[in-house]
Amino acid sequence: MKSARPPLFGDIPPMTATAPQPSPPVRPKRNLSLAAKHRQIGREIIVKVLINLGIVTAGLVALTQLLPYYLAQREKLTNLEAAQKEAQARVNQLKVHYQQDNQPQAIERIAQEDANLIRPNQRRIVWVKPGVAAHSDPAPLNSPVPQPSDSPSPPAIP
């Protein structure tokens, strides 16, 4: 009886014999002549050139179809930029007008012009030409209406 011992470092397990596998059949290489190789390379080049020409043609067709759309969008953009410049100019003009109208002197002037408001220490003077009735802006009851005279005096400055 043999005692079973563990394999030690360096022990090589026994090999089992296997039958050799047959190698696949080798196809014989075709020996192409130099002219045949050149014809084959020429065909490959022609196919590659035709494929590239097809790709270039497709790209050019796509560009020609997109060109009118591009031009229309560019014209719209130009019109919008012009409208934006006009609107910006109007905004700037309104900002200046707003700043001028928010000053205390302007507020008083606007109130006098729009609402016909006057200070208590001021009097309303209305110049009336002879023969023309004053119907557009009647004077308040407590202010006297001046009578036309030979030498007209300048209007009062508010």
pTM of the prediction? Answer: 0.38
Per-residue model confidence (pLDDT) at position 123: 81
Token pair for residue 100? 């001028």
Per-residue model confidence (pLDDT) at position 93: 94
The C-alpha atoms of residue 112 and residue 129 are separated, in whole angstroms, by: 23
Token pair for residue 38? 């050149």
| Least confident window among 55-59, 110-114, 132-136 | 132-136
Cβ proximity of 110 and 121 under 8 Å: no
Token pair 């796509």 is found at 62
**Count of alpha carbons within 13 Å of 39, Cβ hemisphere only?**
5
The C-alpha atoms of residue 28 and residue 52 are separated, in whole angstroms, by: 35
Per-domain boundaries in the chain = 35-115
Per-residue pLDDT for 15 more than 80? Answer: no
pLDDT tens readout for residues 111-123: 777 777 777 788 8
pLDDT tens readout for residues 141-154: 555 555 555 555 55
Phi-psi category of 116—alpha, beta or left, where left has phi over 0 and alpha has psi -120 to 50?
left
More confident call, 53 vs 130: 53
Per-residue pLDDT for 28 more than 70? Answer: no
The C-alpha atoms of residue 62 and residue 104 are separated, in whole angstroms, by: 65
More confident call, 82 vs 2: 82
Tally of residues, the chain:
158
Nearest in space to 118 (alpha carbons), one of 157, 67, 78: 157
